[in-house]
Amino acid sequence: MALYQAKEIKDNMEDSIFGSIDSEFILPKYRMPEGESEPSVILEVVKDELFLDGNARQNLATFCQTYESKEIRELMNLSISKNMIDKDEYPQSAEIERRCVAMLGNLWNSPEGGNCSGTSTVGSSEACMLGGMAMYYRWKEKREKEGKDTSKPNMVTGPVQVCWEKFARYWDIELRQVPMEPDRLYMTPESMLPYIDENTIGVVTTLGLTFTGKYEPVEEICKALDQLEKDTGLSIDVHVDGASGAFLAPFCAPEIKWDFRLPRVKSISTSGHKFGLAPLGVGWVLWRDHSQLPEKLIFHVNYLGGDMTVFQLNFSRPAGQVISQYYQFLRLGMDGYRKIHGNCYKTAAYLAEEINKFGLFDIVFDGNPHDGIPAITWQLKKDANVKFNLYDFADKLRSRGWLVPAYSMPANAESVVVQRILVRQGFGMDMASLLIDEFKRTLDFFNTHEIGANMTAQDSAGFNHCGK
Ligand X SMILES: Cc1ncc(COP(=O)(O)O)c(C=O)c1O
Binding stretches for ligand X (CB under 6 A): 63, 123-125, 128, 161, 163, 206, 208, 210, 241, 243, 271, 283, 465
Angle at 135 between CA 103 and CA 120, to 5 degrees: 30
Toward ligand X, which CB reaches closer, 200 or 269? 269
Q: Helix or strand or coil: residue 20?
A: coil
For residue 128, the minimal CB distance to ligand X (Å) is 6
Pick between residue 163 and residue 277 the one whose CB is nearest to ligand X.
163
Cβ burial, residue 428 (10 Å; 0-12/13-18/19+):
middle
Q: Smallest distance, Å, CB 163 to ligand X?
A: 5
Residues 370, 215: Cα–Cα separation, whole Å: 8
Cis peptide before 389 (omega within 30 of 0): no
* 3 state DSSP class of 403: strand
Which is nearer to ligand X, 122 or 455 (by Cβ)? 122
Buried b (16+ CB within 10 A) or exposed e, 207-245: bbbbbbbbbbbbbebbebbeebeeeeeeebbbbbbbbbb
Distance (Å, rounded) from C-alpha 53 to C-alpha 46?
12
3-state secondary structure labels for all residues of 148-216:
CCCCCCEEEECCCCHHHHHHHHHCCCEEEECCCECCECCCCHHHHHHHCCCCEEEEEEEECCCCCCEEC
| Closest-CA residue to 313 (of 60, 57, 128, 76) | 128
Whichever of 133 and 455 has its CB closer to ligand X, that residue is 133
Q: Which residues contact 415 (CB under 8 A, 6 or more apart)?
A: 182, 408
Our CB check for ligand X shows the closer of 241 and 392 to be 241
Q: Cα-flanking dihedrals φ and ψ of residue 343, to 5°?
A: -65, -35
DSSP state, residue 53: S
Q: Name 299's bridge partners.
A: 310
User: Looking at beta carbons only, is 76 or 207 nearer to ligand X?
Assistant: 207
What separation in angstroms does the CA of 51 have from each of 56, 145, 354, 436, 466?
A: 11, 58, 32, 25, 26
Q: Which of residues 123 and 202 has its CB atom nearest to ligand X in the complex?
A: 123
How many CB atoms within 10 Å of residue 189? 16
Return the number of the residue (128 or 222) whose C-beta is nearest ligand X. 128
The distance of closest approach from Cβ of residue 120 to ligand X in the complex, given in angstroms and rounded to an integer, is 12
Distance CA 340, CA 439 (A): 25
Minimum separation from the CB atom of position 64 to ligand X (A)? 7
CB of 277 to ligand X, least distance (A): 14
Closer CB to ligand X, 59 or 271, in the complex: 271
Question: Which residue, 369 or 396, has its beta carbon nearer to ligand X?
Answer: 369
* Rounded least distance, CB 129 to ligand X, Å: 9
Q: What number of H helices and E strands is found in the chain?
A: 12, 13
For the CB of residue 375, give the shortest distance to ligand X in the complex, in Å: 10
We find the least distance from the C-beta atom of residue 270 to ligand X, in angstroms, to be 9
User: CB of residue 280 vs ligand X: minimum separation in angstroms?
Assistant: 9
Whole-angstrom CA distances from 183 to 206, 218, 356 are 18, 19, 19
Do 362 and 430 contact (CB within 8 A), yes or no? no
Q: Which is nearer to ligand X, 58 or 210 (CB)?
A: 210
Q: Which is nearer to ligand X, 243 or 323 (CB)?
A: 243
CB of 161 to ligand X, least distance (A): 4
Give me the least distance between CB of 371 and ligand X, in Å please: 15
CB of 19 to ligand X, least distance (A): 43
- DSSP bridge partners of 390: none
